[in-house]
Structure 1
Amino acid sequence: MEPLHVVVMGVAGSGKTTVSAALAERLGWRIAEADEFHPASNIARMTAGIALTDADRWPWLCSIRDWMTGQARDGHSTVLTCSALKRSYRDLLSGAAGRVIFAHLDGDSALLAERMASRAGHFMPAGLLPSQLNTLEPLTVDELRAGSLRLDISESPERLVEAIAASLHPTDEPAQRAVVR
């Protein structure tokens, strides 16, 4: 069976880390946090409240794609957290060996801001949330048809994990997998 990479995507505060950790544990797959692939210069920019540019992101995204390819070549499926805000970023990540699907954790900006305000120890300040929301390009119809999902973050992490896991074993009704409400 071809290795599969599930990229849990969304803006800061959407629950990517929580959902990814639970999903990886449930599936017994390898996990990576995209933030760990950032060079120190990117972390310094974000810590200072400076939004990253595409020029900042391309090398970071390439290193993530290369990690996924290495894992696939070793026969491992993975779960990865990554904002993957633009279609072009997702296209680059989709170039990894194996099959890549995206699980977009999407939700209300007020809930996202509330979550960001309540978390501690993360370099991403809440002040960059509007920049991420402005950059975000939601999954397209063709991405959804290819197996990616859009999930509502007002649902519990357990329900989100269940929806993602269920999507990996599709039923005869793919439209029901597209959005969890």
Structure 2
Amino acid sequence: MNPTSYRILVMGASGCGKSLIGEHLASALGARFIDGDDYHPPENVAKMASGTPLNDDDRRGWLGTLAGLFAEYKQKNTTVIIACSALKRRYRDLLREGDPALRILYLEGTRALLKERLESREGHFFKGDSMLASQLADLEPPGSDEAVTVSIALPPQDIIHNFTATLAPSVHQALS
């Protein structure tokens, strides 16, 4: 049994680096990384690829699937990191149904920096400034009672360091 296992959500608007940070965090913790985008049903991917933002109904089943993954890893007492935009508190509440002790890392960035990063991407289904505008309009930033907020302007290793400092002291010391 692993006494310090975590279920961790890496969240934020598209372009904030959820996958990159999630992969680095998983590597640092010896955990599995799951990109939540890989669990979107084909109709959601097609909708986003056409430049149409998803609505709450589109996201409901997808978020339920991710909550199920958190529950599965909680039952195994194993650390998992899942990247998911989780823009609204009710989305995060649904994800917490998989593990009420879910740890959340919110990657916060300015619209300008997010747009710059999205424009430099190749081969991703997320398209257009209107979709970023839609995400930022939907964003309900988590408070300190819900998440650890770290600026995406920092280098990835600093983001990881700032977040792991909030985990058990033995975990943070092992990573420092």
Tell me the TM-score normalised to structure 1 length. Answer: 0.88
Q: How far apart are the structure 2 equivalents of 1:124 and 1:42?
A: 11
SS of the residue corresponding to residue 51 of structure 1 reads coil
Q: Which runs of 5+ in 2 are unaligned?
A: 170-176
Deviates more, 1:73-82 or 1:108-117: 73-82
Tell me if 1:129 matches 2:132. Answer: yes
- On the 8 A contact 2:7/2:99 being kept in 1, the answer is no
Tell me if 1:106 matches 2:112. Answer: no
Q: Deviations over 1:34-92 (max 9, x none)?
A: 00110000000000000101000010000000011112212211111000000000001
Q: How far apart are the structure 2 equivalents of 1:82 and 1:43?
A: 14
Tell me the TM-score normalised to structure 2 length. Answer: 0.90
Q: 2:141: which partner in 1?
A: 138
SS of the residue corresponding to residue 88 of structure 1 reads helix
Q: 1:177: which partner in 2?
A: none
Tell me if 1:66 matches 2:65. Answer: no
SS of the residue corresponding to residue 31 of structure 1 reads strand
Q: Deviations over 1:133-164 (max 9, x none)?
A: 00000002431xxxx21111100111101111
Q: 5 Å matches for 1:71-82?
A: 71-82=73-84
Supply the AA of the counterpart residue of 1:26: A
- On the 8 A contact 1:105/1:152 being kept in 2, the answer is yes
SS of the residue corresponding to residue 32 of structure 1 reads strand
Q: How far apart are the structure 2 equivalents of 1:141 and 1:150?
A: 7
The number of residues matched between the two structures is: 167
Q: Which runs of 5+ in 1 are unaligned?
A: 171-181
Q: Deviations over 1:85-133 (max 9, x none)?
A: 0000000101113620111101110010000000111100132100000
Q: How far apart are the structure 2 equivalents of 1:44 and 1:154?
A: 31
SS of the residue corresponding to residue 167 of structure 1 reads coil
- On the 8 A contact 1:4/1:98 being kept in 2, the answer is no
Q: 5 Å matches for 1:7-26?
A: 7-26=9-28
Supply the AA of the counterpart residue of 2:85: S
Shift of the 45–19 alpha-carbon distance from structure 1 to 2, 3 Å rule, reads: same
Within the candidate set 39, 42, 47, 2:41 is matched to 39
Deviates more, 1:106-115 or 1:71-80: 71-80
- C-alpha deviation, 1:6, in angstroms: 1.1
CA RMSD, aligned part only? 1.5
Q: How far apart are the structure 1 equivalents of 2:70 and 2:5?
A: 10
